[in-house]
Amino acid sequence: MAGHEQDYRRVVREVGPTRFLPGSRVEIIHQFEGRCPPRHALFDFDGTLSLVREGWPKVMIPMMVEVLQATGTDESADALGELALEFVMELNGKQTIYQMIRLAEEVRKRGGAPEEPLVYKQRYHDRLMARIAGRREALRDGTVAPEDMLVPGSRELLGELRRRGVEVYLASGTDERYVVEEVELLGLTEYFGKHVYGAQDDYRTFSKAQVIQRILTENRVDGGVLVGFGDGYVEIANIKEAGGIAVAVASDEAGRSGKPDPWKRDRLIGVGADLVIPDFQDWRPLVDYLWNADEGGELMAFTQFDRSRLRLQPLADRTHDVDRSCMMYPDSPREPFVHAALPELARRIVDGARSGSTVMFCCGAHVLRKGNGPLLIDLMERGLLTHLALP
């Protein structure tokens, strides 16, 4: 179904020990290798980039409690609040209308005659706008800087992605007309341009999965060049299904503490997030990782050791336990050694050298310590080795 958005379904139960990129809060859940560099990036909006709507549950839950109480149920306001909180958070990440569809079902269960979900959605939205009107106004008249209403590091990451030639897109479960306005208020229009997509009154005409499909189809690429950023399960699940890399933004929207929100982290790992970040402040190691890992370069799992603590001794003080007497030359006498693979190995080296192929010799330092240096030099001088790799 075109606009259908799936319910939350945990596909990853447990993850083993995870690690962090050195000196950063970028947590790697799934290591990935051998990928192309990202060329398209999809962002969720609220909670991922924007903090303008922070605190929306404090508007939605009391409204739902009022609606449910109007059915004449004898459940307490606290109990109804708990119930609403549970299903609201369970559905968070989908378009708002899904939470209202569920509200209508709960009204019906209690013998009430529900309004259309769209009516509930409008009522909620009017109240939310009353709460956030001050923030929008403050952004508009410049008394609040966009940075104060953005997840930290957002602009830096977007700038870096643009510098690297990545196309960025925005897909939000919030109504598109408001998303467009708030993108403008936050000064992000220059990054997203026309690539801003959001919910429509007919919720079936929009989904984040559709936006992803459009990106892939219009650019004739597969999900291997797609990276997605989001704090909701829908975008993370959709990105994974498309074969992209999913970066969970477990943002602490109210506190902006720089620590990941544990509820979001667990929930997003559950749908397959590859990386978890609390915000974009560590955008530099994150981008390095996304690009370096693609080039096959694995970053070290440990921080670099402190070289200033080394105690250096003069080379002249060193006592060597080998001397030149151990050197092996092509005409030196040597212990006989026979192995069935040797003639075949020699033949292949000669064939490779004759055909102009690379003949690479990799070994540890013990080969030199045993005095084989002159033999390797001889092979190189005769053109039988083209590359010597030592630790």
Tell me which residues touch Mg ion (CB under 5 A). 44, 46-47, 231-232
Based on CB atoms, which residue is closest to Mg ion, 48 or 225?
A: 48
Radius of gyration, CA atoms only, the chain: 30
Nearest to 31, CA basis, from 41, 44, 21, 43: 21
Q: Which amino acid is at 95?
A: Q
Looking at the Cβ atoms of 56 and 283, the one nearer to Mg ion is: 56
* Residue 80 or 192 with smaller CB distance to Mg ion: 192
94 DSSP assignment: B
CB 173 to Mg ion: min, Å: 7
Q: Which residues contact 353 (CB under 8 A, 6 or more apart)?
A: 359, 383, 384, 386
Residue number with CB closer to Mg ion (44 or 279): 44
Say how far apart CA 49 and CA 182 lie, in whole Å: 11
CA dist 172 and 93 (Å) reads 9
Rounded least distance, CB 79 to Mg ion, Å: 28
Residue with tokens 């109480």: 69
Complex with Mg ion: residue 5 or 294, whichever CB lies closer: 5
Q: Select 35 or 136, whichever has its Cβ closest to Mg ion.
A: 136
What is the closest distance, in whole angstroms, from the C-beta atom of residue 154 to Mg ion in the complex? 13
Residue 26 C-alpha from the chain's centroid: 9
Q: How many whole angstroms separate alpha carbon 216 and alpha carbon 224?
A: 10
Q: Cβ closer to Mg ion: 65 or 157?
A: 157
Compute the least distance from the CB of residue 47 to Mg ion, in Å: 4
Strands 19-20 and 27-28: antiparallel
Q: Are 248 and 275 in contact (CB under 8 A)?
A: yes
Nearest distance in Å: CB 45, Mg ion: 7
Residue 224 DSSP one-character state: G
Closest listed residue to residue 277, CA positions, set 246, 238, 240, 251: 251
Q: Considering the complex, what minimum distance in angstroms separates the CB of residue 44 from Mg ion?
A: 4
Residue with nearest beta carbon to Mg ion: 47
- Residue 230 CB, nearest distance to Mg ion (Å)? 6
